[in-house]
Each structure stands twice: as structure tokens, then as C-alpha cells.
Amino acid sequence: MAVEVFETYESEVRSYCRKFTAVFATAKGSKIWDEEGREYLDFFDGAGALNYGHNNDYIKEKLIDYLQKDGISHALDMYTGPKRDFIEYFEENILKPRNLDYKLMFTGPTGTNAIEAALKLARKVTKRTNIFALMGCFHGMTMGALALTTDMASRAGAGVPLHDVTHIPAPYMFPELDTVAYMEQLLADDHSGVEKPAALVLETIQAEGGIFPFDFEWLKKIEDFCRRHEILLIIDDIQVGCGRSGAFFSFEKAGIHPDMVALSKSIGGYGLPMALLLFKPELDIWKPGEHNGTFRGNQMAFIAAKAALEFALSTNLYESVNDKSKIVEEYMKKEILPLDQKLAVRGRGLIFGLDLSKAAPKGTCREVVTECFKNGLIVEQAGRDDSVLKLMPALTISEEELLKGLEIIKKSVQAVLARKNG
């Protein structure tokens, strides 16, 4: 396993490879194999970019067929058949059944670019500069998105001050604090020092913040607050959308209609770069080219994205996510939480977090990640001090694979806690 070339020539900025030190070669479904032939179960899922598993056969066939016909691969934002087909399918099968009326904007193919576009448009529409965002959030690494993001390790790389964002305590941080009433007071008090924002940006499930699903009733109150104050509500569904929560959009079970929705990661279907910003038609005041990008016309991503939606809808994938969610929750409560009464679990759909912050010293979660990897499981960490084990298996994972991965987690947590307490 030769990693010297990476360590010698690749920038020190690399991160995931420091935890998962194998050189990976092939992948299928929920499994990855390294160059030495060792098999790993994948509970990381490309950070949420591989909801349909590695090398999904249905999507792969569509891509191969398109490539063999010499279909156009790069088209900027010009009209193409794959883009038309995706838009029509998305409109008829995702938006209309949910009574959602949105324009589609294809930004540069990353989540952070979709967030940047949302911020620019919100400020352009409202003629205000300030943005409300929640503490504990992660929205991206470019300057506007990074200003929203609260993780200090991420913010440290900016090199310049990050402006025009007011961070609001997330509801789990101070249970006794009514966060909506708090924001009301900020706007009503002429001594608060806080300007009325153009928008409020949030994830319905804070992922990098430590896996905190927000209550549906609270989300409804947030929507009402935004409507009353003419503040645009922007939902970041980049990581927890596309079925991850047990529905295509993470907010739909709450019955709310955001003004804008940012999608990326699994919207690309096959791990292909693609980002999409949805917004209400009346907000479409862009002038041609005001936000653009060379790679916003990745035709293979359009092919894969449509195929992924076809696959999901034809296999009742979102319904199966809710069934698998119950398996994870039950296993966690019966098999893992009893290992230490200070452990906690949170999640929705197929994104769960095992919180070790009260059960063990700082750095323990990293040891669990390492132990899991030794035992053949790729799983990440998140939250304050990286103290939460973050479970994000493919939505297509079999129940057998799911239980095998959970058993590895149990074994690994047990071993690490025994060393800590021994």
C-alpha cells in the first residue's frame, strides 16, 4: 500500500485520508475494497453524495449508454436534451406532487456554490445584507457560506473577517430559550444592534453540528416568523435531502414551503458534481450571467440525477429508509446505549449520531472511528470537539449490511470505552 506519493506531493490540507489510510480501488453498493483486496462497509457514503450506493447498476447503465452515443458532455448553461429531461422529470415527479412551485437554477456543481447563489439572490431581492444562521451549522467553505458556518476550525482558514451574519442559538443549545421569541426581540428592540436580515438559513437536521434534527413544530414557527417579517427562508438540504431524512426533502414532513432550497451531493445521482438552487418564481430577478460557472452544465450529472430519481421512485426507496431508520434506532437503544448510561443517540431517516461527549474524554470519538476502520467499517465523526459518531449509510443498504455495520460500531465503542475505563 503505497501512500508516499500522496504524503510527499499532496497538500497538507487533505483530511479524510488521515483517518482512512487505505488506498481504495473498487466499490459496489455499500462496500469498498482497497488495493490489497480488503473489504470495508461504508457508513460515510461520500459525505452524503452516494445515497444510492457505489456504482448503482440502474444509474450506471444510463450513463454508459449516453457515453457510448457520444452525447455532449459539457455545455455550460446551453440547452441540451439531458437538462430538459431532468427538469421535466423533477417538475412532474418531485415538485408537483408536493405542491411546490420553484424555478431551478443550476449553479457551479458544489453545495457551497448553491449557498453562495442563495445569499446573493436573497440580498438582491430584499436589499438587505445581514443573514440569520444557527449556531452549530455548516454551510460550506467559500466566503459567504463560511460566514454562515460556525465551526471555528473551518472558519480559521478564511484569512479575512467573515461579515454580515448574525448567529442565533440553536434550539437544543438552551432548551429554556424560545429561539423564535429571541429573534422577535432582536428585531423589535431598537437597542439590539442587530439589523433585519435578508434571509434565515438553516439545515432541518444539523449534520456537522452533531446530528440534531429540528422539531417539525419549531420549523413551522420559523416559517411563520419569516413570513411575518418578510425574511426569506432558505433550507440547506445539501446533506440531508434527496431521501436521507425519509422523504425527498427534509422539510416536507413539517409541511413548510421554504423560499429557497439548496441541493447538491446526492442530487448528482452517482457521486457526480451537481448543485441546484430552487426558489419561488417571484424571486427570479437575476440578470443573465449574474451568477454563473463553467461546470454548471455537467451533462452526465443530469443523466445520473434523472436516473437516480427514477430508481428511488420505482423502488419505494424513501419508504424503505423509514423502515431502516427504525432498525438503527432500535439497535442503538438496545445494544449500544447500555454500554454507558452517558451515551446519547439522535437522528432521523438514515442519518444518526452517537454522542460520546458526556461518556468519555475529548478525542474518544476519533479513537472509535479508528477502531471501526480496523474492524472494516468506514464511519465519520461530527459535532462539538468531533465527539459524535456520524452514521450515514447508503439509502440502498441491505438490512443485513446495516446490522453488520451496527455490530462493528458496538464492538468498537465497547473496546474503546474499556480502554478508557480500564
Element containing residue 390 per DSSP (H, E): strand 388-391
pTM for the model: 0.97
39 and 80 both lie in a single domain: no
Please give the average per-residue pLDDT across 228-240, as a whole number: 98
Q: What is the pLDDT of residue 1?
A: 55
Instruction: Please determine, for residue 205, whether its predicted confidence score (pLDDT) is greater than 70.
Output: yes
Q: What is the mean pLDDT of the chain?
A: 97
Asked whether residue 422 carries a pLDDT value surpassing 80, the answer given is no
Q: Which CATH number goes with the domain that contains 218?
A: 3.40.640.10
Per the structure, the complete domain to which residue 194 belongs is given by: 59-314
Cell readout for 35 is 488495493
Question: Which of 413, 393, 416, 421 minimizes the C-alpha distance to 335?
Answer: 413
Which of 255, 283, 314 terminates a domain? The answer is: 314
In the chain, pLDDT over 90 holds for what percent of residues?
A: 98
What does the pLDDT average to over 415-420? 91
Query: With contact defined as beta carbons under 8 Å apart, do 344 and 358 qualify?
Result: yes
Number of domain units in the chain? 2
Q: List phi, psi (to 5°) of 169.
A: -55, 130
Q: Per-residue confidence at 149, pLDDT binned at 50, 70, 90? A: very high
How does pLDDT run across 253-281, given as a tens digit for each residue?
A: 999 999 999 999 999 999 999 999 999 99
Q: 223: part of which helix (H) or strand (E)?
A: helix 216-229
* pLDDT > 70: percent of the chain: 100
- State which H helix or E strand residue 137 sits in: none
User: By C-alpha distance, which of 326, 396, 275 is closest to 30?
Assistant: 396
Residue 390 CA to residue 346 CA, distance in Å, equals 10
* Residue where a domain stops, chosen among 254, 281, 314: 314
In this structure, are 211 and 299 located in the same domain?
Answer: yes
Does residue 227 surpass a pLDDT of 70?
yes
- Separation CA 226–CA 220 (nearest Å): 10
Other C-beta atoms lying within 10 Å of the C-beta of residue 85? 14
List CB contacts of 298: < 8 A, sequence separation 6 or more: 73, 74, 109, 268, 272, 273, 274
pLDDT tens for 86-96 read 999 999 999 99
Residues 340-364 have a mean pLDDT of: 96
* Res 302: pLDDT: 98
Collect all residues with Cβ–Cβ distance below 8 Å to 247 and sequence separation of at least 6. Answer: 253, 318, 349
If asked whether residues 310 and 222 sit together in one domain, one would say yes
Distance CA 121, CA 262 (A): 12
